[in-house]
Amino acid sequence: MINSINNRFSFDENGYSLIEIVVVLAVLSTLSLISIPNVLRSIKLSRIDEAKILMDSYAAECLQEFRFGNDLDNILPPTFSEKKIQALGFKKSISSSCSNLSLEPLNKSDELFFQFDFRIGTESGTLIKTSTPPVDTASKNGCDLWGGDLCTSNNSLKNVWENKFKIETEKVACESEFFNWRNTLPSGSKNRWDDQNESCTQKVWVHKSFIANTESEYQEIKAGEECTTAKNDYSSYSGEKFIPECSKTFYFYQGIDMTSKDRMQMKLIEDNEISCEVKKENNRLTASNGKYIGVASSGNCGNYYWICNKRILNSLDQWKESDCYSP
């Protein structure tokens, strides 16, 4: 009877003891404390890399918008998704646009994540990438791969590019304003871009379509153009004329300045001589026999002449010897 009872309460000696179970649980707990953080860190690093890949895609889209001539300050990449960015542990910084798209950690206390961005010069289309080093050095390599030398907390290095982009914009605005003014055919001075001083301070003088680099050159161009315009009013004039715009007396022959009074008068005499000869020839063919006088102030053609049977006689002796003479 006793043996049967003892058999009912016998224990299986092939199982695990309590101590063994506790040891196994302790080992598993230790392993989990070591491995789980590493797994979570790997996941975060993968998300950071995915965010950088996404930003490269956004940068390509923004450069395409630049080629289309769109204003990068007022647009985002066409496929930009705030929800996707947040799923990767980031958020878009305030005032971000295609000209400067910046992502910052959604959880700022997470020392593995870091801020990074890209910037595009709105005039040149130059693309640069900058980033801020993370507190946790495990993702420092990712920061360097994105920003290179511009993975830094030293904002002066980043400001160099900001200033370059700012100067690009100011130069385009300065030159655009100058040429818009020039297209109105003005007369006066206006500033252009000075590359040496990197400012809109280079004074240039313009007179209508002419550009001068000095005021004296401008005055010379202006006076010459005004003189030329005034002379155009005498394009067919013959004679002596003082033109105030030129501060000079001109000696025109059919609008051409002969440079001296003697030359002008010589051309006028030649004209009169030709006119006289033409008239004399017409008289020879049509006028009756007799004595005639040439045109006054026309050189030799202004002398007396005689016509006899459609012949011109240049002296009284020739006339007296002709068949037409009668005492």
Q: What is the pLDDT of residues 185-214, one digit of tens each?
A: 999 999 999 999 999 999 999 998 888 889
Rounded Cα distance between 94 and 105, Å, is: 13
pTM of the model: 0.60
Residue 260 CA: distances (Å) to CA of 87, 107, 243, 248, 253: 91, 92, 15, 12, 11
In a domain, 10, yes or no: no
Confidence class of residue 298 from pLDDT cuts 50, 70 and 90? low
pLDDT confidence of residue 2: 46
Are the beta carbons of 94 and 102 closer than 8 angstroms?
no
Cβ atoms < 10 Å from Cβ of 234: 17
For the chain, give the mean pLDDT: 87
Rounded Cα distance between 113 and 132, Å, is: 10
Same domain, 148 and 182: no
Return all residues near 240 (Cβ < 8 A) that are at least 6 apart: 249, 250, 251, 252, 261, 264
Same domain, 35 and 143: yes
The four Cα atoms 153, 156, 158, 160 give a dihedral, to 10 degrees, of: -170
Same domain, 172 and 145: no
Handedness of CA 319, 323, 324, 325 (dihedral sign): positive
Same domain, 190 and 297: no
DSSP 8-state symbol, 125: -
Domain boundary among 103, 122, 153: 153
Total domains, the chain: 3
Domain boundary among 103, 129, 153: 153
Same domain, 146 and 34: yes
Residue 209 one-letter amino acid: S
In tens, the pLDDT along 214-244 reads 999 998 888 888 888 888 899 899 899 998 9
Same domain, 116 and 37: yes
Same domain, 34 and 87: yes
Rounded Cα distance between 215 and 220, Å, is: 9
Same domain, 144 and 100: yes
Same domain, 185 and 310: no
In a domain, 239, yes or no: no
Domain boundary among 105, 126, 153: 153
pLDDT confidence of residue 113: 96
What does the block give as tokens for 54? 């996404």
Q: With 90 as the cut, is the pLDDT of residue 147 above it? A: yes
pLDDT confidence of residue 315: 86
Residue of 104, 99, 98 whose CA lies nearest to 79: 98
In a domain, 148, yes or no: yes
The four Cα atoms 74, 79, 84, 89 give a dihedral, to 10 degrees, of: -50
In a domain, 105, yes or no: yes
In a domain, 277, yes or no: yes
Same domain, 207 and 82: no
Cβ atoms < 10 Å from Cβ of 129: 18
Give the residue numbers spanning the domain of 282: 263-320
What does the block give as tokens for 200? 């809109």
In a domain, 187, yes or no: yes
Confidence class of residue 1 from pLDDT cuts 50, 70 and 90? very low
Buried b (16+ CB within 10 A) or exposed e, 193-212: beeeeeebebeebbbeebeb
In a domain, 73, yes or no: yes
Residue for token pair 């979570």: 40
pLDDT confidence of residue 117: 97
pLDDT confidence of residue 301: 75
Confidence class of residue 14 from pLDDT cuts 50, 70 and 90? low
Same domain, 68 and 148: yes
In a domain, 159, yes or no: no
